[in-house]
Structure 1
Amino acid sequence: MTILRKGATGRAVTHLQGLLGAAGFPVVNDGWFGDTTEAAVLRAQIHLGIIPDGIAGPQTITALTAGRRDPRHMTYAAIERAAAELDAPISHILAIAQVESAGDGFLPDGRPKILYERHVMYRRLAAAGLDADALADRYPALVNPRRGGYMGGAFEHGRLKSARMIDDTAALESCSWGAFQIMGHHWQILGYDSVQHFVLCMQKDEDHHLAALVRFIVADPKLHAAVKSGKWPTVARLYNGPAYAEHAYDTRLATAARRYAVLEASA
């Protein structure tokens, strides 16, 4: 589905403007995505409970068409609660959500997005007292001291299914889960009863993904302080690792935070 943002033109924009009007946010149907259309999209997103970014992507178009949002998707109310719990500006939480969630925490088939890490599986098996080297020799695609073997999308669930036959707990701990790709092996410091409990929460909806993010931030005082103050290089380093600059995570977070602050002021 086309993603429409400021500057877009054409029939898709005219269709969007018609949907906005029908939803009670009228704009001129001129096929031009300008300031007034962006403002209408922003107001509609807040009304529908969608993360307000002024961009009409699949979630927004679907919600406008159906008159309601997909209940699996993150709500603006959840973002507000997260900001209050973290004592941080809403624009900072919105920025993290935009940059880290890649737009959706679920696959089209309804399963949460995951990434299975075979090198983490190797370490988790060794930590559990199992012969990780022997298992790596037998299942190198699933247990390996080196990262890799990724297949992406729904295929990652196939890899996980096979890994769970080796050791269920270690396999679940070796995946990153949901909109914010939080590793399963963090379950204990995040306050979940077990990794299975953590995974059950990740299967519910993106509000649960956001709750896990809040726990992850609170668990690291340095990360928490950086999120509150908007020290984006520190946030990116602690969240994404020392190679964060290769993907410009810090500048993307800073840009998103500034834009959300402006959008909030104009909403």
Structure 2
Amino acid sequence: MAYSRHPRKPVAPKAPPSPFVEVTILFRDTLQKPIEGLSVLVKAGKGAPQAPEWKLGQDSADPPAANPASAPDGASAPAPDASAPLVDNRTEVVTDASGYAVTIQNAARNQPVDIGVKNRRGKYAWKATVTPKKDVSAFTIVSPEYHLEATTKLTPKDELEQDLDLPVVREGEIMTIERLVHDFGPFIGWSQKVTEQGQVKKDFPTKKKEVTEDQKTHNKTTQITIEHHYKVVDTGKPRTIVLNVLGSRLNFPNPALFSEDQYKSMATQLDVEVAAIKAIVMQECSGIPFEENGLPKIRYERHLFYRALKLRYEAQEAGADKAAHKKGVKRKGTPFANPYPQYPELCFPEGGGYGSDGLHQYEKLTRAAALDFDLAIQACSWGGFQILASAYASCGCATSFEFANKFMSGSEEQAQIFVLFMRNVKPDATVALRTHDWDGVASGYNGAYWQDTNPDYAKNLGLFYEKFK
């Protein structure tokens, strides 16, 4: 038996979200206590188009609805005047005793907002960029824990007011290892925390009974009415974003990827297949020789820094013994001892402790460079082929600095160094690569103990080769 279907009632189209949102900026220390007296600049972020002039100030008595359709009785909440003249929004404020800076009632949704704090020289230093997406959001800027120039413990206010004269990388600039460490080194690892607490306007309806009595029949009638009570509530747990000061571009390598022509050139010079070289690149750097910030991928190895220091010390001791012997003087040497035991993450006889990839590796390199710049570079493997800089002389470079700068410049220099490296340092690996002996490649290229450190190395090479051949 067929059943008749009731026609569905037409559903009103969902109202689009308002292009404007409410944003509140707060400042707290690491214990979540308010920071008072900060001079703060809030302005439209880089890339944000001009927008109607901001309407500033708290309006807790009547917070904006989460969506125009959710206003009481279905009425649309009044939106800010989008036809107002467009300006580059900015405002300067001072945080109060509660750490409150400002509330923007009509910030543009999904558009960045930059936040700066006036430093001791009277200039605004960038601290964070927030992008409001929710209808009502509160962004809390947390005082950093990293002290750039502190000789004594700074207060949270002092930390945010430090002079952060960040160096600038020009569009298209090729970074050098010297400039990276000297100019940018103090800021590598410096981070800022921003906590976003999203809020929405939620309806808490209450039922109200109204009883009326007919005067003639004395019959009582009960009528139920619903009262709407809207409150701003948190959407859930806060979301904390850690922003690194050097998260933007630090280098513009040219080119930044290996081209097919480069692969063919390397393969021809080494008499191997293109697919075999691609397999090494995939194994060593996942096919991408540079980080998103433009710096070549590196890996700092603390045991190599230790080993290089030891070899240099032993060479100096041998030279001193030889000189003493010529003079007929008996000399008593001393065994090598770790000169930096207070930095086990930088100088240690055993490997490991690598930490996360990316800028963290450059943070280690920068800190080690303060101990010995030359050997810190040599303790890193570089670029698309992860070649140790200690082989710089065999790769046609006069110094480790020249080696690092070639890796900074682009994939073409990296390709040239790889060919020299395979010819002069890894001839056995080259032969194994030619004959598809992946165990031989792993042993010749990655070291005799490759199975201890990376047991899947040879298998992965074979899989990558099959993929690209």
Q: What range is the shorter-chain TM-score in?
A: 0.5 to 0.7
Q: Which deviates more, 207-216 or 187-196?
A: 207-216
Residue number among 210, 218, 228 corresponding to 2:434 in the alignment: 228
Secondary structure (helix, strand or coil) at the match of 2:393 reads coil
| Deviation (angstroms), 1:236 | 1.2
Structure-2 separation of matches of 1:186 and 1:208:
15
More strand by share: 2
Q: Which has the higher helix share?
A: 1
RMSD: 2.0
| Of 245, 250, 255, the match for 2:463 | 255
What is the CA-CA distance between 1:240 and the residue it aligns to? 1.9
Once the two structures are superposed, what CA deviation does each residue of 1:38-94 show, in whole Å capped at 9, x if it has no partner? Answer: xxxxxxxxxxxxxxxxxxxxxxxxxxxxxxxx8311111100000110011222222
Cα distance per residue 1:127-147 (max 9 Å; x no partner): 222896342323322111122
Distance 1:132 1:121 in 2: 14
Check if 1:183 corresponds to 2:388: yes
* Separation (CA, whole Å) in 1 of partners of 2:269 and 2:338: 45
Q: Which runs of 4+ in 1 moved over 6 A?
A: none
CA distance in 1, matches of 2:352, 2:261: 37
Matches within 5 A, 1:92-107: 92-107=276-291
Which letter does structure 2 place at the counterpart of 1:237? S
Q: Which moved more, 1:131-140 or 1:233-242?
A: 131-140
1:157 aligns with 2:374: no
Q: Secondary structure at the match of 1:112?
A: coil
1:194 Cα offset (Å): 0.9
Please tell me whether Structure 1 or Structure 2 has the larger radius of gyration of its CA atoms: 2
Query: CA–CA distance in 2 between the matches of 1:203 and 1:226?
Result: 29
* Ranges in structure 1 where 5+ consecutive residues have no aligned partner: 1-69, 262-267
Assess if the C-alpha contact under 8 Å between 2:290 and 2:297 holds in 1: yes
Match of 2:231 in 1: none
Give the Cα–Cα distance (whole angstroms) in 2 for the partners of residues 134 and 259 of structure 1: 46
Contact 1:188 1:194 (C-alpha < 8 Å) held by counterparts:
yes
Matched, 1:218 2:218: no
Report the Cα offset of residue 241 of structure 1. Answer: 2.5
Instruction: Please list, as runs of the form range in 1=range in 2, the aligned pairs for 1:1-267 lying within 5 A after superposition.
Output: 71-129=255-313, 133-152=337-356, 153-219=358-424, 220-245=426-451, 246-261=454-469
Deviation string 1:122-171 (CA, Å, 9 cap, x unpaired) is: 11112222896342323322111122332222111011111111111111
* Cα distance in 2 between the residues matched to 1:192 and 1:106: 21
Secondary structure, in 3 states, of the residue corresponding to 1:203?
helix
Give the Å deviation of 1:183: 0.8
Aligned AA for 2:298? I
Quick one: which amino acid aligns to residue 82 of structure 1?
M
Q: What is the TM-score normalised by the length of structure 2? A: 0.39
Aligned mates of 2:338, 2:274 — CA distance in 1 = 49
The count of corresponding residues between Structure 1 and Structure 2 is 192
Contact map agreement 1:237 1:244 (CA 8 A) in 2: yes
CA distance in structure 1 between the aligned counterparts of 2:304 and 2:444, rounded to whole angstroms: 18
Cα distance in 1 between the residues matched to 2:364 and 2:275: 36
TM-score (norm 1): 0.66
Question: 1 or 2 for the larger relative contact order (CA 8 Å, sep ≥6)?
Answer: 1
Distance verdict in 2 for CA 1:91–1:122, change over 3 Å:
same
Q: Work out the CA distance in 1 between the residues paired with 2:460 and 2:310.
A: 37
**Structure 2 CA distance for aligned equivalents of residues 139 and 254 of structure 1:** 39
Q: CA deviation at 1:213?
A: 2.0
Separation in 2, partners of 1:149, 1:99: 21
